[in-house]
Amino acid sequence: MSDKLNANNTIRTTRIESVKTENPTTKTYTFTDPRCAKAKPGQFLMLWIPHIDEIPLSIMNTTGNAVSVTVKNVGDATKHLHTLKRGDTIGVRGPFGNHFTQQEGNILLIAGGTGTAPLLYLAKQLAVTAKRLSFIIGAKTRNELLFLNQLEPLCTEPPTATTEDGTYGLKCLATQPLEQLLAEKGATQLDMVYTCGPEHMTRQVFNLTEKHGVPLEASLERLMRCGIGICGSCMIGKYRVCKDGPVFNSQRLRQVKDELGISKLGFDGNRIPA
């Protein structure tokens, strides 16, 4: 194990500097950690909630030595995290994994739910170099749409918002406007698509970009216990998402398409629906 990975894998305790409620189920936490503050868009950290558990989280933003992560209350660990306040102690390991490549030209990002967080981080950097930057954001309902106000000034056109219940934007899945856009413009107008969100959405994005010959980079989410490629709980095909990912390009996604959005390993090691 390299000295850098050893250092990144050492747990550091820090205190929460701020907690921002994004919607009824989602909060953004900011804390100081010089190592994770050097992370590139797409990388993740392991956050320890004392006496409870350790969970993987995509990095949403860094400023100086400050790091922000956005967390939805979806289970026991995140439920306890949502009770923590400014000044409370947490533990951090990381950053881990690979990151998005930063392409120039005409770029499209498509996010679902909290998958918007790492793509916002990426969009902030792409806004400086991309010729055209577009964003499709989807959620089940209006109050689950994240960071719209922050995305608008970064994009060359207003972000396209979709909700499954029609309470904001288009009433459809985020992949529907993507399908229409690719059918109209395809590889002639898009140099790269980036995506992060539920895996069934990622599978649809992959199928559409493959059909139209557009390169894709997708951030995948799997069960992660160690974060450094030892435990194998995050396997997809021959790859360990924590170490070989979490960002996968089109070539690697082709190699795991029989599992992508279909199956994954559960807490007991048995295969379950993705």
Tokens of 214: 């557009």
pLDDT digits (tens, 9 = 90+) for 217-240: 999 999 999 999 999 999 999 999
Domain identity same for 242 and 207: yes
Closest by CA to 112, choosing from 133, 134, 132, 140, is: 140
> Which CATH number goes with the domain that contains 24?
2.40.30.10
- pLDDT tens-digit map of 40-69: 999 999 999 999 999 999 999 999 999 999
Check whether 111 has a pLDDT greater than 90. Answer: yes
Residue 107 and residue 125 in contact, taking contact as beta carbons nearer than 8 Å: no
For the cut 60, the answer to whether the pLDDT of residue 1 exceeds it is no
- Which residues are CB-neighbours of 146 under 8 A, at least 6 positions away? 22, 23, 26, 70, 113, 114, 116, 117, 120, 137, 139
> Do 85 and 132 share a structural domain?
no
Are 123 and 245 members of one domain?
A: yes
The answer to whether residues 76 and 137 belong to one domain is no
> Chain-wide mean pLDDT for the chain?
95
Q: What is the pLDDT of residues 173-210, one digit of tens each?
A: 999 999 999 988 766 789 999 999 999 999 999 999 99
What percent of the chain shows pLDDT beyond 90? 92
Predicted TM-score (pTM) of the model is 0.95
Does residue 188 share a domain with residue 83? Answer: no
DSSP 47-102: EEETTTEEEEEE--EEETTEEEEEEE--SHHHHHHTT--TT-EEEEEEEES-----
Give the number of domains in the chain. 2
pLDDT in tens, 146-176: 999 999 999 999 999 999 999 999 999 999 9
90 and 112 co-located in one domain: no
Q: How far apart are CA 54 and CA 61, in angstroms?
A: 20
My answer on whether 80 and 110 are in the same domain is no
Query: 63-89, pLDDT tens digit by residue?
Result: 999 999 999 999 999 999 999 999 999
